[in-house]
Structure 1
Amino acid sequence: MRTGGETDSNHAKASAAMEFLLFLLFLVLLVAASATGLTADSHDSADWKPSDDGRRWRSRTS
């Protein structure tokens, strides 16, 4: 005979497993989108200046 504690424990384990699988699916979708070129980063380097086809924009103030 099962007790309520075992059912709650099993439910918590199943919930944690589903949460992990959904997170893993999200990461796989991000990797697939990146591999197929659906993602883009318009910034480069640590200063986060925008670039145009890899060429840095030059500010007019300098």
Structure 2
Amino acid sequence: MRTGGETDTNHAKASAAMEFLLLFLFLLVLAVAAAAGLGADTRDSADWKPTTDGRRWRSGTC
């Protein structure tokens, strides 16, 4: 005869397995989208200022 504790343990294991599967599926979808080139670089040119020997280039306007 099963006790309530065994049922709760089985339910917890199933819940943990489902959580892992959903996380894995989400990461898989992200990887497939990245491989398909569906990502977008949202940075603008302000994020990529030119450098000279590792020092940021400054324009004379500021």
TM-score scaled by structure 1? 0.70
As a proportion of its length, which structure holds more strand? 1
Give the residue type in structure 2 aligned to 1:19.
E
Q: Which residue of 2 aligns with 1:17?
A: 17
As a proportion of its length, which structure holds more helix? 2
In structure 2, do the counterparts of structure 1 residues 42 and 57 end up closer, same or farther at CA, with 3 Å as the change threshold?
farther
Q: Which residue of 1 aligns with 2:40?
A: 40
**Residues 11-58 of structure 1: per-residue CA shift (max 9 Å, x gap):** 000000000000000000000000000012233xxxxxx23xxxx468
TM-score scaled by structure 2? 0.70
Give the residue type in structure 2 aligned to 1:21.
L
4+ residue runs over 4 A deviation: 57-62
| Equivalent pairs, count | 52
Is there any run of 5+ residues in structure 2 with no aligned partner, and where?
Answer: 51-57
Percent identity between matched residues is: 63
CA RMSD of aligned residues (A): 2.2
Q: Distance in 1 between matches of 2:25 and 2:38?
A: 17
Q: Which residue of 2 aligns with 1:2?
A: 2
